[in-house]
Each structure stands twice: as structure tokens, then as C-alpha cells.
């Protein structure tokens, strides 16, 4: 009963988010109308090839897009429907309110544990700074809290490690520090941007288990960005599949794996190595590469690479976007089925 | 850390040795030896010495021995602080140089600090506000600074100072302090005269350092740890000053290693134009008069000065970069 | 190839053009986008044109002294007179200041000296080959001591404009010679360093570090002062070139070594090695072309330092010696504040120095950006 209640509350609702990068060659639309709901206490997986706009989505939510990127449209509602509803797209990036959201409401975990921490300061320095940014704790209290955080993320001998520099830690430990840093401001939403990509397989599994445990303990809403279908299957409750700055399919994780609706999702799933495959079977790949967002194909952006193309309609018209909060795919085949 | 320090120290010693050899070569380069020059000098003043006397002198100074022995003799005297006698002044070289070495150091170090003081904030500004109007203005000024040899700048400043303000902008002291012994008032007078030569000297280095700082910071600003800092909720100013600027300081600090020799070099020629009582004018006179012991001593001392400067920059680098500090921990 | 390309949309044709272009071609295409660098290229070309045709552009014999016309201020060319277009300069009349007894020159508007193109003046060899006495422009019918002095004259009455033309040739060529020598040393030692690695590399790197930690000007001064007084202008010229490239090669060696180290790991080099190509073939056929543009950029950036070095040394009186004329020698006359306050036009020699160094810097920067598309 409690599960369904929690499931109904939406922690973050993104609607028609559009992001542009102005350059000499013209305007590049990195995000072109992205909508999805992140439900409280659940894990939303965001999946797609490199360059499809996953990381831009994460940075837009935190309002830390690199110049010359700007949010050109859409809303990002924190606590939608509640009296405290805030549209992050309307806040100034460096405002006190937005900074309170960053780290305080939404934590961010990075892909590169090597470069995401500064080598010039100790782990403790960087962690304590994050703790004090979002609480009135004294230096001693913040230090105690930082040690506690390191213990929570499973770092042995945290009292000693707090004085270490990042380059003195292994990759796995560094990523744990990264997670501790994201949790330092006690956020209720955590965005993990490819948290395991740079790690070896054993460490990957440990980090994923850690994320799962922390999520359960703290009731965190997790937005997990990855290109790895295995990670999605392991972690996500719902999945948004992105292609060239748009959500092309949204579905509960079981549905997605059992009955993928978008040709792109099907192609992605075929590209996952399977233990059931016959020996020496060639791994399927998706033909071609993701086009540069500045050279977006007309009509459905996926049509040049789509093996199930219908014909002229795919090249000329854009399929309707997936309605937020519902399972569906942005594809003319889907519309045929519905009709 | 110890290994790093020992390595740098060892390198400094090798550099000193290298400089001493170079100096010795320079001393020996002009045709004829010290005694020939001495005889010529005497002849110019109307007196002379006999062939036997000359041979005796050669023997006394070891000039009839092999080059290696001569080098050794010269080095062992130098190590005791004896740089020989200046022919031009007929006084020990150390006495002739006197305060001038310290004043050279004061001018060069002042220029170094000025370079940093200007280059750091402008470099940060230009990187953070890349392609802004201010960035273009500073880039343009920087290019002009690079293109204008500092002695030209000194000449132009001299001319305008003389023409429009009727003042002689040269020198490091007011007339009443030139010969005065050291006192607080004299030091203060020096401080008042320092900014102009320091600024002239600092210009080219500043332009260079701004470009280094800007390029490094632009690199650092793209690194993920900046995003981490922002994602924590830090203000933009704090996020940038604490993390990427700190990282960009690294190459900034190591730039002293070549900036300081460059400034010392520049001080020689700027001193000549601005009439500063540094070793610059003395070196030129000594070289023109082929007073090789004096010239050699100056070249050697300037070299040592830059070695010390480089060593300080190495220590500074160690202090700001924990990766070096903790090497081997 | 062209048959299939013809049927495809034009975008593919462009791609094919890019795919087939050599490294140098690609660099050139990227370089053309830098307007400032392109403009600088024009400026540099103009300077070298001046260097090549220095005597043709000069109006007076740059070495001819005349005590009567010392310190004449710059003369303007008047384009029109009462009869319409008739470019001319005024004749000069000496006026003795009765208080200081100094002889100063005032333009004498009553005497007009017509300025014409292709006038005959002193003899010279055009491009060092064709003896002639025709100059681009000059005045006709001048009395001795008179003439056209666009930038004024120095103490000995030599025409500054003509001297600057000739000095351009000397200063630019010594810079070029110095940089070529540096390039040779840099490519040789940098190449050895990057190619062989190990203790050779360490040794060369330490040597570079050593040379860079020595203050250059005192060192140059010491070496330059040791050149015998009896040496001819040409001997001194080459000795100075040698001295300034003694330090200059270190930067180039670093660039070359860096590129060699980076390229050694590149797939195409490894592929060539595996295919059994000889070391010479790999270096000259595969590696050198791929960093030729880097070397051009680094060389361009090294040129200003060479020019400044020569100018500094000559300015100090330790570089080239009169009767040679270089920018540094011209500026040497402007060293004294008393002279300068009376004849500020002597500072005009600072203009070409600054402009050409600026142009080389912009050009080098543009080239470097173009050479390194991914950096």
C-alpha cells in the first residue's frame, strides 16, 4: 500500500525541455522537447548512445550547463503539484535558491571518479565543504558527518581516509567518495551520470549494490543515466530511452525488456551480448552513428538508421512525443497500432 | 618529496657548474690573455713592463698552465669569494660590483611580483569571460606587450617623461641618495623609484603569463571537478577560485623557472636605457673594455641568481602541488 | 571514386575533398579562417618585399653622410600646389638660433622640389643582380645637402627613411637565418631526443633545461663582445646569427620531440612499422608530413625572439657594427635622451620592429591553431 502511495508522488517532472548551443555554424538543439517524470523513491533509468542528450539533461536540471548552452524552453518542476512547486528553469543559475537545490535537494554522481575530484585538496576538505554548504554545522560537526558519510558508503578506516588525496585512492574508493559527496547535502533526488562506466566489472557490481542500498535506506529518487542495458535491467523501475535529444520510448523496465515498442530500443537490446547466444554468433550492432545534433535528419530523427522504416511518412513528419507519465513510444508504427 | 628536493638541488648544482664553465669560456674568449690586456692597459696610460715581468705575471696567475688547471685555479678562488681584480677600476671585482648585484635582484624580483599581480587576475578574467570585450582588449594589449622589446618601451617612456613632464625618469635613487649610505630614507627612496623600471621590465612577461594563465584555466574549466564543485551548490566565484584556478596555478608557478632568467636578462638592457645602478651598465663597460674578470664575475653572479630563483620556484611548486609533495609517501 | 561521388549529394563531395586532403592542405584551409593571421601574413609578406627591394625603395644613399644636413626633421610630401597635382617637398633653409647657436632647419616654402616616380639616384644592384640607379621615387633637381627626407636625418645627416629600408633587409634576414639554424638544430636534437628516448633523451632534455635557466642577454653579450674587432661585417653577421640561435633551438627541439613522442604511439605509425617500413621511410614519409605544420607554426613563433635578440644586441653596440645597418643600430642612435629630445623621429625605427613582431606572433598563433585542430 505504502509502495503505491509513494509511487504516485512525482519528485521531479520535466516537460518539453529544450536546450540550445549557439555556435558559429548555427544553433544546435541538444535537447528538443524532453519530458519525463521521476517518481519519488523510484529509479528512473535514462538510456541511449553517446551524444543523445543524457548528460545535457542532467546538467540542465542542475542548471550547470557549460556555455554557450542555454535552456530555450520547457519546465523542470521540483515537487510538482505541491505548494512548494518550483520551476528550476526559471531560477537564475547562480541564485541562492538554485544553489540550495544543487547538492541540497539534488545530488550528482559522476562518471569519472578520477577527474571529478580535485587533486589539490584532500577528500575531507572537499567533502566537509559539501556538508557545510547545506547545513549550519560547525567545522567539528561537519568533519564527524563527513567521516560518517564515508563509513555509510563503505569506505574502510574513514578516519584515516578523510586526510587522503584523491590520487591516493583506488577507482572504486574514489567513486564511493563521489557518492558520499553527492549525499553530503542530504538530497532527496540523486542523479547518477554513468556512475559505473569507468570502473571494472567487480567494482561496478559493488557500486550498484551500494546505490541500491542507499536508495532503500534514505528513500532517494534516483535518476540513473547509462548506456548499459544490463545496468538498467539491474537497477531501474522505469526507463526513458533517448535519441538525439528526445525521449523516444518510456516504459516500466519489465515491459521495456519484454516488449520494446520503439525500433531504436529493439536495436539497443539486440546489441546486448547474451549468454544464451549460440557460440560465434555475431553481436548485432546498430548501423551508422548518431548524427551530429546540428544535422538532425528530417521527420523521425532515427529514420536513416531504422530497420523498420515505414516509408515517406518517417522522413517527412515527426512522430508524436511520448505523453509524460505513460508508457509509449514516439514512432509511427506505435500510432498505427493505436489507430 | 625528499627525492624531488634532492633532484632539484642536484640539478641546481649542475647548472652552477655549467654556468661556471660558460663564464670561464667567456673570460678566455677574447684573443690574448689577462696579461696582454693588462699590458695594453698600461701602455694606454703611458707605462710598460718588461717581457720578464710579463712572464712572471703569467706564471703567478697560472696562465702558463693547462686550461683545466687554470679553470680549477679560477674556480677555487671564486668559491672563496675572490673574483679577481678589475683592470678597468684597479680594484677587487667584488668591491666594484658592490650594491649593484642586490639592486639588480631587487629590480628583477619587483618585476616578478608585479608580473604576477597583474597577470593572475587578468588571466582569470580572460578565461572566465572568454571572448568578451574585456578579453579581446587584454589579448590585444598582451600582444602589443609581447611585440614591444622592453628597452624600446623604456626609450619611449623616457622620451615622453622628458618631453611632457620635463623629468628624468631614469635611476633608482633621487640625487641626494645616490651616494648616501643605506638608511630607511634611502630604502624608501628606492621604493618610490622602483615601480617604473619594474613595470617596463614586467610588461612582456606579464603578457606571456596572461596567455599561459588563460589557456590553462580554459583547460581546467572544462574538467569534471568543476562540475562537482558547482553541483555541491557553491557560488560560481567560489567554485572557480577554489578549484580550477588552484589547478591552473601549477604551470603558473613553474613559469617562474624561465620568467626569472628572462627578467634578469631584461634588467641588463633596461638598466642601460633608464640608467639604473644595476650590474647591467657595468657589464657592458666591462665587456667593451675587455675587463674579463669583472664581466665574468657579473655573468657568473647573474647565473647563480637565476639558479636560486629557479630553486625557489621548484619549492613553491612542491608547496602547491600535493602530488609532488606526497611523492613516495 | 568520382563516378560514385557524382551521383551523391554535394555534401559527400566535400567530405571526399576533406578525406583526400593532405595534412598541409587541411592546415591551410583552417588557417584561412583566421582573419587576423591572414592579415598578418600580408604584413609579413610586405616586410619581406621591402627587404628584397630595399635599395629600390630607398631615396638616398643610406651610408652617405653630410654634416650640413644633420638632424633634419621629417618632411611631408605636399600633393598639390597652385597648379594642381604636383607632389613636392619644400627645400630647406638653415636657421641659426641666436640664443643657443644651434643650427635648425626650417622648410623653405619658396623652393619646391618635385617628387617623381622612377628617379635616378645612387647606384645599387637590384636583387643583388642588376646594377641600376633607378629608385621608386625621389626628388628632381636638388642642390647638394637638399633632398627628400621622409623620416628626417640622423646626426651624420643620413636619411632615416632609406636607412630603415636597408635595415629591414638586414634585420629580417638575420632573423630568418637565425631561425633556420635553430630549426636545423631543433629538428636534429629534438628528433633524436624523441626518436631514441632513453638516456639520450634525458641528456638532451637536461641540456635544454640548462640553457633555458641561464639569463640569455649577459651570455650573448659575453659571446658577442669576444668577436674580434678585425672581423668583417659579413663575419660578424654570421657570428651573431650563430649566437642568437644558440638558445633559440631549445623551443623548437621541444616541439619536435613532443610531436615525435606523440606520433610514435599513433596507429598509422605502428601500422607502418608492422608493415615493415624502414625507419627512414616512417620518419620522412609518415611522421614528418604530419607535423610539418606544427614546425612551421613553431618556427614562425620563434622568429620574433630572433629579431628582438639581434635588435637588442645591436642596440647595446655588441651586435652588428656600423657600417652595417639594422633596426638595432638605428635605435642605438636614439639611446641618448639629449639626442632623443632634439630628434624624436629617430624613434621611428621602433615602429617596424614592433609591427613585424606583432605580425609574426599573430601569424604563428593562427598557424598553431590551424595545425592542431583537435588541440
- Confidence at residue A1, expressed as pLDDT on a 0 to 100 scale: 36
Closest CA–CA distance from residue B227 to any residue of chain A (Å):
7
pLDDT tens digits, B43-102: 767 777 777 877 877 777 667 777 788 888 888 888 888 888 887 777 888 888 888 888
- Position C1 scores a pLDDT of 36
Say which residues have a Cβ less than 8 Å from residue A335's Cβ, sequence separation at least 6: A319, A320
Residue A297 has pLDDT above 90, yes or no: no
Residue B147 touches partner C, C-beta closer than 8 Å:
yes
User: Residue C97 has what pLDDT?
Assistant: 66
Mutate to test the interface with B, among A92, A118, A194, A198 (most CBs of B within 10 A): A118
Residues on chain B bordering chain A, Cβ-to-Cβ distance under 8 angstroms: 222-225, 227-236, 242-243, 246-247, 320-323, 326, 329
Q: Does B37 touch chain C (CB under 8 A)?
A: no
* Nearby residues of A105 by Cβ (< 8 Å), 6 or more positions away: A78, A185, A187, A188, A189
Q: What pLDDT score was predicted for residue C99?
A: 67
| Whether the predicted pLDDT of A102 surpasses 50 | yes
Give residue C373's pLDDT band: very low, low, confident or very high (50, 70, 90): low
The pLDDT of residue B327 is above 50? yes
**pLDDT tens, A211-229?**
999 999 999 999 999 988 8
pLDDT at position C3 over 50: no
- Which has more pLDDT, A113 or C103? A113
Range with top average pLDDT, A17-26, C110-119, C215-224: C215-224
Kindly report whether the peptide bond that precedes residue A105 is cis, defined as omega within 30 degrees of 0.
no
**pLDDT for residue A38:** 92
Contact C213, B310 (CB under 8 A): yes
For chain B, what is the mean pLDDT?
82
Considering Cα of B309, then B310, then B313, then B315, what sign does the dihedral take?
negative
Report the residue of chain C nearest B24, measured CA to CA: C222
What is the average per-residue pLDDT within A307-335?
83
Q: Confirm or reject contact between A102 and chain B (CB < 8 A).
A: yes
Q: Which residues of A touch B324 (CB under 8 A)?
A: none
pLDDT in tens, C69-100: 777 778 777 777 777 777 777 777 777 766 66
pLDDT tens column, A144-194: 999 999 999 989 999 999 999 988 888 889 999 999 999 999 999 999 998
Output A101 or C3, whichever has higher pLDDT: A101
Q: Are C86 and C54 in contact (CB under 8 A)?
A: no
Closest residue on chain B to A182 (Cα): B232
Rounded to whole angstroms, how far apart are CA atoms C304 and C330? 18
pLDDT at C7: 36
Confidence class for position C152, pLDDT limits 50, 70, 90: confident
**Model confidence pLDDT, tens digit, residues B196-226:** 888 888 887 888 888 888 888 988 888 888 9
Instruction: Give backbone dihedrals phi and psi of A333, rounded to 5 degrees, phi first.
Output: -60, -40
pLDDT for C291 equals 74
Q: Which one has a higher pLDDT value, C329 or C146?
A: C329
Task: Say if C13 is an interface residue toward chain B (CB within 8 Å).
Answer: no
* Average pLDDT value for residue range C240-251: 84
Q: Who among B228, B230, B246 is closest to A117 (CB)?
A: B228
B259 has a pLDDT exceeding 80: yes
| DSSP character at residue B73 | H
Residue-wise pLDDT for C174-198, tens only, equals 888 889 999 889 888 888 888 777 8
Compute φ and ψ for C149, nearest 5 degrees: -125, 80
Of residues C52 and B317, which shows the higher confidence score?
C52
Predicted local confidence at residue C8, as pLDDT: 36
Q: Which of residues 198-237 of B touch C (CB under 8 A)?
A: none
Q: What is the mean pLDDT of residues C330-358?
A: 84
- The confidence score (pLDDT) of residue A209 equals 92
DSSP per-residue letters across A165-224: -GGGS-HHHHHHHHHHHHHTT--SEEEEESTTTTS-HHHHHHHHHHHHHHHHHHT-EEEE
**% of chain A with per-residue pLDDT over 70:** 93
Q: What is the mean pLDDT of residues A124-131?
A: 92
Contact list, B298 vs chain C (CB under 8 Å): 218
Contacts with A338 (C-beta within 8 Å, 6 or more apart), sequence order: none
- How far from A339 is each of A61, A325, A334, A336, CA to CA, in Å? 35, 21, 9, 5
Task: Inspect the interface and report whether the beta carbons of B152 and C222 lie closer than 8 Å.
Answer: no
Q: Is the pLDDT of residue A108 over 80?
A: yes
- Give the chain B residue nearest C227 (alpha carbons): B30
> Is the per-residue pLDDT at A128 higher than 60?
yes
- Residue C101 — very low, low, confident or very high, per pLDDT cuts 50/70/90? low
How many inter-chain contacts (A to B, CB under 8 Å) are there?
80
pLDDT given at position A77? 92
Determine the Cα–Cα distance for residues B111 and B264; give it in Å rounded to an integer.
Answer: 9
- Whether B163 sits inside 8 A of C209 (CB atoms) is no
Shortest distance between the Cα of A164 and any Cα of chain B, in A, equals 10
Instruction: Render B210-275 in DSSP notation, one character per residue.
Output: HHHHHHHHHHHHTSHHHHHHHHTT--HHHHHHHTHHHHHHHHHHHTHHHHHHHHHHHHHHHHHHHT
What is the pLDDT, as a whole number, of residue A327? Answer: 86
Mark yes or no for CB contact B19/C225 under 8 Å. Answer: no
pLDDT value of position A4 = 41
ipTM: 0.84
Give the pLDDT of residue B32: 66
pLDDT band, residue B33 (cuts 50/70/90): low
Of A85-89, A148-152, A303-307, C161-165, the one with minimum mean pLDDT is: A303-307
Cα separation, C303 vs C357, whole angstroms = 8
pLDDT tens readout for residues C22-69: 666 766 766 666 777 888 899 999 999 888 888 888 888 888 777 677
Res C13: pLDDT: 47
- Specify the DSSP element, H or E, that contains B68: helix B67-79
Kind plus residue range of the DSSP H or E element containing A47: strand A43-47
Say yes or no to pLDDT of C332 above 80.
yes
Our CA-based measurement puts residue B132 at a distance from the nearest CA of chain C, in whole angstroms, of 17
* pLDDT value, residue C103: 65
pLDDT above 90 (res A82): no
- Chain C interface test: which of B265, B272, B280, B284 (most C C-beta within 10 Å): B265
Residue range B146-166, pLDDT digits in tens = 788 888 888 888 888 777 776
As a whole number of angstroms, the distance between CA C137 and CA C119 comes to 6
**Mean pLDDT of all residues in B184-207:** 84
Q: Please name the chains neighbouring C, where neighbouring means 3+ C-beta pairs under 8 angstroms.
A: B
Q: For position B167, what pLDDT does the model report?
A: 64
In the predicted model, what is the mean pLDDT of residues B310-320?
A: 80
Q: For residues B231 and B240, what is the distance between their CA atoms, to the nearest angstrom?
A: 12
The set of residues, in sequence order, having a beta carbon less than 8 Å from that of A237 and lying 6+ positions away, is: A39, A42, A43, A44, A252, A253
* Percent of chain C whose pLDDT exceeds 90: 3
How many Cα atoms within 13 Å fall on the side-chain side of residue A32?
A: 19
pLDDT of residue B258: 75
- Please tell me the pTM assigned to this model: 0.79
Decide if B284 and C311 are in contact by the 8 Å CB cutoff: no
What's the confidence (pLDDT) of residue A149? 93
Report the C-alpha gap between B35 and C12 in whole angstroms: 80
Average pLDDT of span A260-288: 78
Q: Which B positions 236-275 lie with beta carbon below 8 A of chain C?
A: 257-258, 261-262, 264-266, 268-269, 272-273
Q: How far apart are CA A27 and CA A296, in angstroms?
A: 12
Give the C-alpha separation, A15 to B67, whole Å. Answer: 85
pLDDT-derived band at A12, boundaries 50, 70, 90: very high
Q: What are phi and psi of C91, to 5 degrees?
A: -70, 175
In A1-60, the residues whose Cβ lies within 8 Å of chain B are 59
Amino acid at each position: 500500500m505504502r509502495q503505491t502511495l509513494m509511487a504516485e508522488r512525482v519528485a521531479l517532472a520535466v516537460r518539453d525541455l529544450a536546450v540550445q548551443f549557439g555556435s558559429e555554424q548555427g544553433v544546435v538543439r541538444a535537447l528538443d522537447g524532453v519530458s519525463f517524470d521521476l517518481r519519488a523513491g523510484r529509479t528512473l533509468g535514462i538510456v541511449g548512445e553517446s551524444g543523445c542528450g543524457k548528460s545535457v539533461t542532467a546538467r540542465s536540471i542542475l542548471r550547470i550547463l557549460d556555455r554557450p548552452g542555454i535552456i530555450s524552453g520547457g519546465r523542470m518542476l521540483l515537487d510538482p503539484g505541491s505548494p512548494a512547486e518550483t520551476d528550476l528553469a526559471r531560477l537564475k543559475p547562480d541564485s541562492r535558491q538554485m544553489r540550495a537545490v544543487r547538492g541540497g535537494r539534488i545530488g550528482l554522481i559522476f562518471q569519472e571518479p578520477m577527474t571529478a575530484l580535485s587533486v589539490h585538496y584532500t577528500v575531507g576538505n572537499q567533502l566537509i565543504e559539501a556538508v557545510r554548504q547545506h547545513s549550519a554545522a560547525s567545522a567539528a560537526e561537519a568533519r564527524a558527518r563527513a567521516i560518517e558519510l564515508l563509513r555509510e558508503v563503505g569506505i574502510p578506516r574513514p578516519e584515516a581516509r578523510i586526510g587522503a588525496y584523491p590520487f591516493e585512492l583506488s577507482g572504486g574508493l574514489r567513486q564511493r567518495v563521489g557518492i558520499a559527496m553527492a549525499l553530503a547535502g542530504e538530497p532527496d533526488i540523486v542523479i547518477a551520470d554513468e556512475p559505473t562506466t569507468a570502473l571494472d566489472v567487480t567494482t561496478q557490481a559493488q557500486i550498484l549494490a551500494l546505490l541500491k542500498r542507499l536508495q532503500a535506506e534514505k528513500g532517494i529518487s534516483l535518476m540513473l543515466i547509462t548506456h548499459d542495458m544490463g545496468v538498467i535491467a539491474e537497477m531501474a523501475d522505469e526507463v526513458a530511452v533517448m535519441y538525439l535529444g528526445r525521449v523516444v520510448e518510456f516504459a516500466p523496465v519489465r515491459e521495456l525488456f519484454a516488449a520494446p515498442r520503439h525500433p531504436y530500443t529493439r536495436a539497443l537490446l539486440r546489441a546486448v551480448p547474451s549468454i544464451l547466444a549460440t557460440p560465434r554468433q555475431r553481436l548485432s550492432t546498430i548501423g551508422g552513428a548518431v548524427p551530429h545534433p546540428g544535422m538532425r535528419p528530417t521527420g523521425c530523427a532515427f529514420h536513416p538508421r531504422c530497420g523498420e522504416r515505414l516509408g515517406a511518412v518517417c522522413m517527412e513528419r515527426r512522430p508524436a512525443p511520448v505523453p509524460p507519465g505513460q508508457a509509449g513510444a514516439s514512432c509511427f508504427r506505435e500510432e498505427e497500432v493505436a489507430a | 618529496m625528499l627525492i624531488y628536493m634532492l633532484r632539484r638541488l642536484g640539478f641546481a648544482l649542475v647548472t652552477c657548474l655549467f654556468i661556471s664553465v660558460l663564464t670561464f669560456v667567456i673570460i678566455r674568449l677574447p684573443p690574448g690573455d689577462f696579461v696582454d690586456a693588462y699590458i695594453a692597459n698600461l701602455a694606454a696610460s703611458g707605462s710598460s713592463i718588461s717581457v720578464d715581468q710579463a712572464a712572471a705575471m703569467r706564471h703567478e696567475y697560472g696562465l702558463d698552465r693547462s686550461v683545466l688547471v687554470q679553470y680549477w685555479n679560477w674556480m677555487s678562488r671564486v668559491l672563496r669569494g675572490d673574483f679577481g681584480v678589475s683592470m678597468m677600476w684597479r680594484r677587487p671585482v667584488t668591491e666594484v660590483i658592490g650594491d649593484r648585484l642586490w639592486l639588480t635582484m631587487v629590480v628583477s624580483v619587483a618585476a616578478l611580483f608585479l608580473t604576477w599581480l597583474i597577470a593572475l587576475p587578468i588571466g582569470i578574467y580572460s578565461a572566465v569571460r572568454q571572448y568578451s570585450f574585456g578579453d579581446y582588449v587584454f589579448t590585444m594589449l598582451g600582444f602589443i606587450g609581447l611585440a614591444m622589446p622592453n628597452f624600446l618601451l623604456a626609450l619611449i617612456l623616457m622620451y615622453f617623461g622628458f618631453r611632457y613632464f620635463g623629468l628624468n625618469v631614469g635611476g633608482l635613487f633621487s640625487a641626494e641618495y645616490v651616494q648616501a649610505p643605506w638608511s630607511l630614507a634611502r630604502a624608501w627612496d628606492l621604493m618610490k623609484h622602483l615601480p617604473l623600471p619594474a613595470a617596463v621590465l614586467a610588461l612582456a612577461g606579464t603578457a606571456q603569463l596572461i596567455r599561459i594563465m588563460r589557456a590553462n584555466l580554459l583547460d581546467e574549466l572544462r574538467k569534471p571537478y568543476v562540475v562537482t564543485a558547482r553541483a555541491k551548490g557553491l557560488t560560481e566565484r567560489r567554485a572557480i577560485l577554489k578549484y580550477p584556478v588552484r589547478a591552473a596555478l601549477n604551470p603558473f608557478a613553474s613559469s617562474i623557472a624561465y620568467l626569472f632568467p628572462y627578467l634578469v636578462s631584461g634588467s641588463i638592457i633596461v638598466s642601460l636605457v633608464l640608467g639604473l645602478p644595476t650590474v647591467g651598465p657595468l657589464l657592458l663597460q666591462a665587456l667593451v673594455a675587455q675587463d674579463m674578470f669583472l664581466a665574468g664575475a657579473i655573468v657568473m653572479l647573474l647565473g647563480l641568481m637565476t639558479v636560486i630563483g629557479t630553486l625557489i620556484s621548484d619549492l613553491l611548486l612542491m608547496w602547491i602541488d600535493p602530488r609532488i609533495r606526497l611523492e613516495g609517501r | 571514386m568520382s563516378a560514385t561521388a557524382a551521383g551523391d549529394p554535394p555534401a559527400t563531395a566535400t567530405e571526399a575533398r576533406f578525406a583526400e586532403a593532405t595534412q598541409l592542405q587541411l592546415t591551410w584551409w583552417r588557417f584561412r579562417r583566421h582573419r587576423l593571421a591572414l592579415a598578418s601574413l600580408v604584413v609579413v609578406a610586405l616586410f619581406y618585399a621591402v627587404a628584397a627591394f630595399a635599395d629600390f625603395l630607398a631615396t638616398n644613399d643610406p651610408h652617405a653622410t653630410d654634416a650640413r644636413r644633420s638632424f633634419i626633421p621629417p618632411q611631408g610630401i605636399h600633393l598639390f600646389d597652385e597648379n594642381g597635382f604636383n607632389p613636392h617637398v619644400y627645400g630647406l633653409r638653415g636657421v641659426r638660433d641666436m640664443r643657443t647657436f644651434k643650427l635648425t632647419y626650417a622648410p623653405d616654402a619658396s623652393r619646391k622640389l618635385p617628387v617623381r616616380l622612377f628617379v635616378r639616384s645612387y647606384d645599387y644592384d637590384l636583387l643583388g643582380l642588376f646594377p641600376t640607379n633607378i629608385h621608386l621615387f625621389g626628388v628632381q633637381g636638388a642642390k647638394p645637402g637638399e633632398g627628400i627626407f621622409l623620416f628626417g636625418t640622423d646626426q651624420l645627416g643620413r636619411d632615416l627613411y632609406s636607412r630603415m629600408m636597408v635595415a629591414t633587409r638586414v634585420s629580417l634576414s638575420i632573423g630568418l637565418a637565425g631561425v633556420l639554424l635553430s630549426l636545423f638544430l631543433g629538428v636534429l636534437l629534438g628528433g633524436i631526443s624523441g626518436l631514441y628516448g632513453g638516456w639520450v633523451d634525458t641528456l638532451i632534455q637536461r641540456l635544454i633545461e640548462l640553457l633555458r635557466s641561464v639569463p640569455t642577454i649577459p651570455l650573448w653579450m659575453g659571446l658577442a663582445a669576444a668577436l674580434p674587432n678585425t672581423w668583417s661585417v659579413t663575419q660578424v653577421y654570421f657570428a651573431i646569427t650563430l649566437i642568437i640561435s644558440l638558445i633559440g633551438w631549445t623551443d623548437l627541439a621541444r616541439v619536435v620531440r613532443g610531436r615525435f613522442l606523440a606520433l610514435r604511439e599513433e596507429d598509422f605509425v605502428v601500422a607502418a612499422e608492422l608493415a615493415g617500413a624502414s625507419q627512414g621511410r616512417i620518419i620522412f614519409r609518415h611522421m614528418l608530413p604530419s607535423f610539418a605544420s606544427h614546425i612551421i607554426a613553431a618556427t614562425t613563433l620563434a622568429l620574433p625572439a630572433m629579431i628582438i635578440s639581434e635588435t637588442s644586441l645591436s642596440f647595446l653596440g655588441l651586435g652588428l657594427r656600423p657600417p652595417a645597418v639594422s633596426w638595432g643600430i638605428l635605435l642605438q642612435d636614439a639611446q641618448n635622451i639629449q639626442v632623443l629630445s632634439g630628434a624624436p623621429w629617430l624613434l621611428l625605427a621602433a615602429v617596424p620592429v614592433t609591427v613585424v613582431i606583432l605580425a609574426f606572433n599573430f601569424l604563428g598563433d593562427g598557424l598553431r591553431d590551424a595545425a592542431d585542430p583537435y588541440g
